[in-house]
C-alpha cells in the first residue's frame, strides 16, 4: 500500500471533506490532432451547431433548477450562453475545421486554447475568469460530442472531485452534490464562478496543485483541509481520526455561537470587540448569528461581480442600506471599492500592468475617476442616515492622498446637506503604516490590513505556492511593525482594528491581545472561537508575555508562538472545536 502524501495548495472555499478520488475533465491544452477528409466538413459543422444547441439547453436547465435556491446567483451561467453564441468563437471553429481539416473536437480544443492563451496573457483577474469560462464551455461541448446525455451522475459513496484543469461550474452541477465532499483542482480562484457555486453548496475547494496525477490515483482516499490548503492522499488513521473529531465538533461550535451572542471581556475585565468582515447583505445575517459586535469591514467591490456596467448610485444605496439595516444599529465600517489588483470589474477599462497589485488601484483610481468616487460616497452617506456607519479608504500611501480623498467626501456630504461621516484609513501600504503618527490628527479611526501589508513587506504573493512560505504573520519584524502601529493608535486614543487574516487566526489571538489590540475584525464563523479564547486570557499577563518581542528573532516562530499560547491559555486551544497546531 502506498504511503500517505500531503499536498499543499491554496484554500478557495473553506471546510473539510473526505472521500474517494474521482477524476474530472482533461486539460484543454492537451490536444491530439485528428484529421478529416474534405467531404466530412459539412457533417462536422452541422454537428457543431447541434452540440452548441444541446449545451445551451443544458445551461438553461441548470438555471431553471437553481432558480429556487435564492443563495445562488444563476446569472453566472448566462455567460456561457454568450460564449456559445459568440461569432468570433463560432467563426474560428468553423474556419479551423474548413481550412486545417481538423475534426470537431480538435478544432474546439485548438480554438479554445488560443482564446485561453490570450486571456491569460492579459494578466488580470477579469481575463483569468474569462479563461476559466472558456474551459467550461469547451468541456461542455466535448461532453456532448461524446454522446454525454447531460443527466446528473451520482455516486455510491462520498467522493472528492479531482479536476485536472481549471475548475468550472459544470464540474459540480453534473454530479449529485450530496456526494461531493470536496474539490481539488489544478487552478481556479476564490472569485471564480465555480468557487462561488461551490461556496453556495458548502463544498470545500483547494486549488493550485499541479501534476495531480503524479500523486493521486482514481479511487484513492483523499482528505481535504480547505482551511489550510492541505490535501491528504491515502491519509493515516491519525489524520482520519483528527478529521472525525472536527466533524463531531459541529455541535460544540453551535453551542459557542449561542454563548457568544454577547460582548466578551478578558479575565481581567478588558472589553474586546470582535467585528465581522462581510461582502454581501446575507453575510450580515451570518455575522449576527455568530455574535458579531458590529461589522468591521464591508468589501464593497463585490457589488460589482458579474455586472456589465458600474452600478448606479441608487443600486449602491439599496445594497448599503440593506447591510446597515441588518447590522441592527451596531457599528458598520464600509470600505470604498478596492478596484484593481485581483478585483477588476468586467466593464472597467483597466490598462495593462505588469504588477497590478502595486499599480493603479483603490484610492489611486478614485482620485482620478472622481465620478466613481463621488457616486459611491453619495450612496453610502444617503444609506447611512440614522445608522452607526463609517467610511474606510484602502491603499492610502501618503497623508496628502488621504487629505485629497477626505476633501472629496466632505464635498459630497455638503452637496447632500448631510453630516460628514467618520472616515478612516486601512493601513496596508508599508510607507503609510511606518508614518502612521502623521495621520493621527486627520483620521477618525484606523485598521490594519495584514494581508496586503505582509505581501508588500515580504515581496511574496500569498497566492503563489512557490513563495507563500515567506508570507508569515508571526515573522518577528512584522510583529514589531504591528505592535508599533497598535501603540501609536492607543497612545492617540484612536480606535484601531485588524481586519486581515492574521486577526482571524485563533493561534494569533493571545499574541494580538498582548500587543494591545482591542478590536478584531474577522470572517463571521471565527467570531465565537475568537471570543472564547479572549474570555480565557488575562490581558495583563498577555502584555507581559509579549514584552520580550525584540528578543525572539533567534527562536523558530512556530515554537515561541506555541509556547506563548500554552503559557497563557493552557489547554484551551486543544478543547476548542477547531483544528489547532500546538
User: Which amino acids are annotated catalytic?
Assistant: 193, 499
Cα 35 from chain centroid (whole Å): 43
Half-sphere exposure of 267 (CA within 13 A, CB side): 13
Question: DSSP H helical segments within 459-524, as ranges?
Answer: 476-491, 501-504, 509-514
Rounded-to-integer distance, Cα 207 and Cα 229, Å: 8
Half-sphere exposure of 358 (CA within 13 A, CB side): 12
- Under a CB-based contact definition with an 8 Å cutoff, are residues 349 and 381 in contact? no
Write the DSSP string, 389-401: EEEEE-S--SHHH
The Cα-based distances of 240 to 220, 230, 232, 446, 477 in angstroms read 14, 13, 9, 43, 37
3-state helix, strand, coil in the chain (%, to 5): 50, 15, 35
Q: Is the dihedral of CA 207, 520, 384, 488 positive or negative?
A: negative
CB burial of residue 474 (10 Å; 0-12, 13-18, 19+): middle
The SS3 of residue 290 is coil
The Cα-based distances of 247 to 162, 225, 250 in angstroms read 22, 12, 6
H/E stretch holding 46 reads: helix 41-66
Closest CA to 78 of 101, 47, 109, 56: 56
Rounded-to-integer distance, Cα 353 and Cα 355, Å: 5
Rounded-to-integer distance, Cα 39 and Cα 216, Å: 43
- Under a CB-based contact definition with an 8 Å cutoff, are residues 393 and 425 in contact? yes
- Under a CB-based contact definition with an 8 Å cutoff, are residues 319 and 303 in contact? yes
Write the DSSP string, 203-259: --EEE----GGGT--TT-EEEEETTTTEEEES--HHHHHHHHHHHHTHHHHHHHHHH
Closest CA to 398 of 376, 367, 420: 367
Rounded-to-integer distance, Cα 203 and Cα 463, Å: 20
| 8-state DSSP, 551 | G
CB burial of residue 561 (10 Å; 0-12, 13-18, 19+): buried
Strand-pair partners of 275: 521
Amino acid at each position: 500500500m502506498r504511503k500517505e502524501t500531503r499536498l499543499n495548495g491554496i484554500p478557495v472555499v473553506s471546510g473539510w471533506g473526505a472521500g474517494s478520488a474521482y477524476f474530472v475533465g482533461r486539460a484543454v491544452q492537451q490536444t491530439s490532432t485528428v484529421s478529416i477528409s474534405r467531404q466530412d466538413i459539412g457533417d462536422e459543422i452541422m454537428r457543431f451547431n447541434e452540440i452548441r444547441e444541446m449545451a445551451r439547453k443544458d445551461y438553461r436547465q441548470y438555471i431553471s433548477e437553481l432558480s429556487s435556491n435564492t443563495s445562488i446567483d444563476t446569472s453566472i451561467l448566462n455567460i456561457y450562453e454568450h460564449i456559445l453564441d459568440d461569432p468570433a468563437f463560432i467563426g474560428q471553429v468553423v474556419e479551423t475545421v474548413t481550412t486545417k481539416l481538423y475534426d470537431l473536437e480538435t478544432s474546439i480544443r485548438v480554438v479554445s486554447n488560443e482564446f485561453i492563451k490570450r486571456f491569460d496573457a492579459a494578466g488580470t483577474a477579469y481575463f483569468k475568469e474569462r479563461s476559466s469560462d472558456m474551459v467550461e464551455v469547451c468541456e461542455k461541448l466535448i461532453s456532448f460530442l461524446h454522446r454525454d446525455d447531460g443527466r446528473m451522475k451520482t455516486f455510491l459513496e462520498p467522493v472528492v472531485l479531482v479536476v485536472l484543469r481549471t475548475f468550472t461550474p459544470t464540474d459540480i452541477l453534473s454530479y449529485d452534490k450530496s456526494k461531493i465532499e470536496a474539490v481539488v483542482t489544478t487552478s481556479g480562484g476564490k472569485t471564480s464562478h465555480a468557487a462561488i457555486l461551490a461556496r453556495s453548496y458548502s463544498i470545500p475547494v483547494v486549488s493550485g496543485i499541479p501534476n495531480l496525477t503524479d500523486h493521486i490515483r482514481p479511487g484513492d482516499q483523499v482528505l481535504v483541509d480547505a482551511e489550510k490548503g492541505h490535501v491528504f492522499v491515502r491519509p493515516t488513521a491519525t489524520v482520519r481520526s483528527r478529521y472525525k473529531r472536527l466533524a463531531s465538533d459541529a455541535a460544540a461550535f453551535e453551542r459557542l455561537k449561542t454563548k457568544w451572542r454577547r460582548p466578551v471581556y478578558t479575565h481581567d475585565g478588558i472589553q474586546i470587540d470582535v467585528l465581522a468582515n462581510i461582502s454581501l447583505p446575507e453575510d450580515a445575517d451570518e455575522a449576527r448569528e455568530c455574535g458579531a459586535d458590529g461589522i468591521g469591514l464591508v468589501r464593497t467591490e463585490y457589488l460589482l461581480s458579474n455586472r456589465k456596467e458600474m452600478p448606479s448610485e441608487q443600486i449602491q444605496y439599496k445594497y448599503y442600506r440593506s447591510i446597515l439595516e441588518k447590522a441592527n444599529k451596531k457599528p458598520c465600517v464600509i470600505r470604498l471599492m478596492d478596484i484593481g489588483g485581483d478585483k477588476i470589474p468586467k466593464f472597467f477599462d483597466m490598462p495593462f500592468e505588469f504588477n497590478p497589485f502595486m499599480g493603479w488601484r483603490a484610492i489611486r483610481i478614485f482620485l482620478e475617476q472622481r465620478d466613481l468616487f463621488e457616486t459611491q460616497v453619495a450612496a453610502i452617506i444617503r444609506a447611512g442616515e440614522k445608522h452607526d456607519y463609517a467610511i474606510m479608504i484602502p491603499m492610502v500611501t501618503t497623508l496628502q492622498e488621504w487629505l485629497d480623498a477626505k476633501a472629496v467626501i466632505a464635498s459630497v456630504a455638503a452637496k447632500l446637506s448631510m453630516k460628514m461621516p467618520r472616515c478612516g484609513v486601512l493601513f496596508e501600504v508599508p510607507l503609510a503604516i511606518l508614518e502612521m503618527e502623521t495621520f493621527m490628527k486627520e483620521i477618525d479611526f484606523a485598521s490594519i490590513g495584514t494581508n496586503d501589508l505582509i505581501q508588500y513587506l515580504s515581496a511574496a504573493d500569498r497566492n503563489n505556492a512557490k513563495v507563500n512560505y515567506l508570507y508569515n504573520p508571526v515573522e518577528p519584524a512584522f510583529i514589531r511593525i504591528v505592535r508599533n502601529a497598535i501603540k501609536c493608535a492607543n497612545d492617540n486614543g484612536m480606535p484601531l482594528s485588524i481586519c486581515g487574516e492574521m486577526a482571524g487566526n485563533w493561534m494569533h489571538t493571545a499574541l494580538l491581545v498582548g500587543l494591545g489590540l482591542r478590536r478584531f475584525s474577522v470572517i463571521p464563523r471565527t467570531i465565537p472561537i475568537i471570543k472564547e479564547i479572549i474570555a480565557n486570557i488575562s490581558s495583563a499577563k498577555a502584555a507581559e508575555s509579549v514584552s520580550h518581542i525584540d528578543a525572539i528573532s533567534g527562536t523558530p516562530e512556530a515554537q515561541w508562538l506555541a509556547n506563548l499560547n500554552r503559557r497563557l491559555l493552557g489547554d484551551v486551544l486543544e478543547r476548542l472545536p477547531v483544528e489547532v497546531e500546538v
